């Protein structure tokens, strides 16, 4: 049975991945990392998925990292999460080196639990952010082959959805029976998903394009 550590947020892509990997017979280890993001309530959704899939679940608190990385809307409460229409181009919504840091932790965890791989839910539409691209995954794996050379486990980071657009991921998740109202996307991190930030916009647009009913409760239509 293949063993996979999934860098897990409780969002659409990571949840679809978990359901797909379970169907494929993987021994799942879901890893949620609190890096100081304002939407850390996503981890309650991550835990719910782990319980439904009877998967191993770990939540790691590294919130101090967020305090060292101000200037973006995910980890700095002084920076507003803007609505999609007003969202500026640039790095206001990007945590520097986020996936490099989180994947380094995930690979270390994979080594000690004797996993075969680390799985991340990057998709084609994320490629505009450098640490979600195919080039980044390839470069990161090249680094890890050096870092873990003395260990018997040679861990590869894989991104099975990286060639797919979000609406295609929604269709895949629908075929797997993913309970969409048990996933979280919103950057604002309130009691309900706002419906207007960039991630909510992407989520709603993907459901429409996929032709799948969206059961999510949004604060704004």
- What is the reported pLDDT for 128? 66
- What is the reported pLDDT for 80? 81
Look at residue 84 and tell me if it is in a domain: yes
CATH number of the CATH domain containing 143? 3.40.50.620
Look at residue 29 and tell me if it is in a domain: yes
- What is the reported pLDDT for 91? 63
Instruction: Enter the pTM of the model.
Output: 0.91
- What is the reported pLDDT for 127? 57
Query: Which residues of the chain fall below pLDDT 70?
Result: 86-91, 127-128
- What is the reported pLDDT for 28? 97
Is the C-alpha dihedral spanning 207, 43, 217, 177 positive or negative?
Answer: positive
- What is the reported pLDDT for 86? 57
Q: Into how many domains does the chain fold?
A: 1
Scan for tokens 């994979």, then name that residue: 110
Give the residues across from 29 on adjacent strands. 5, 56
Look at residue 215 and tell me if it is in a domain: no
Look at residue 220 and tell me if it is in a domain: no
Look at residue 217 and tell me if it is in a domain: no
- What is the reported pLDDT for 42? 86
Q: Domain span at residue 36?
A: 3-210
Look at residue 216 and tell me if it is in a domain: no
Q: What are phi and psi of 200, to 5 degrees?
A: -65, -40
For residue 59, what is the enclosing H or E element? strand 56-61
3-state secondary structure of 141: helix
- What is the reported pLDDT for 115? 95
Look at residue 110 and tell me if it is in a domain: yes
Look at residue 218 and tell me if it is in a domain: no
- What is the reported pLDDT for 88? 55
Cα–chain center distance at 36: 15
- What is the reported pLDDT for 154? 85
């Amino acid at each position: 049975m293949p063993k996979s550590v999934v860098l897990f947020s409780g969002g659409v892509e990571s949840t679809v991945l978990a359901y797909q990997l379970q169907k494929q017979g993987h021994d799942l280890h879901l890893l949620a990392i609190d890096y100081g993001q304002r939407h850390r309530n996503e981890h309650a959704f991550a835990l719910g998925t782990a319980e439904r899939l009877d998967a191993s679940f770990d939540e790691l608190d590294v919130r101090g990292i967020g305090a060292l990385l101000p200037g973006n809307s995910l980890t700095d409460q002084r920076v507003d999460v803007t609505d999609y229409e007003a969202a500026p181009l640039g790095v206001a919504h990007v945590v520097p080196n986020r996936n490099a840091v989180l994947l380094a932790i995930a690979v270390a965890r994979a080594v000690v639990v004797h996993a075969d791989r680390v799985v991340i839910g990057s998709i084609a539409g994320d490629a505009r952010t450098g640490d979600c691209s195919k080039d980044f995954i390839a470069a990161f794996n090249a680094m890890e082959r050096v870092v873990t050379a003395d260990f018997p486990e040679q861990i590869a980071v894989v991104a099975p959805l990286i060639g797919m657009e979000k609406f295609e991921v929604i269709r895949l998740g629908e075929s797997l029976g993913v309970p969409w109202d048990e996933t979280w996307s919103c950057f604002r991190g309130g009691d309900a998903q706002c419906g207007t930030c960039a991630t909510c916009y992407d989520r709603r647009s993907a459901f429409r394009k996929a032709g799948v009913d969206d059961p999510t409760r949004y604060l704004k239509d």
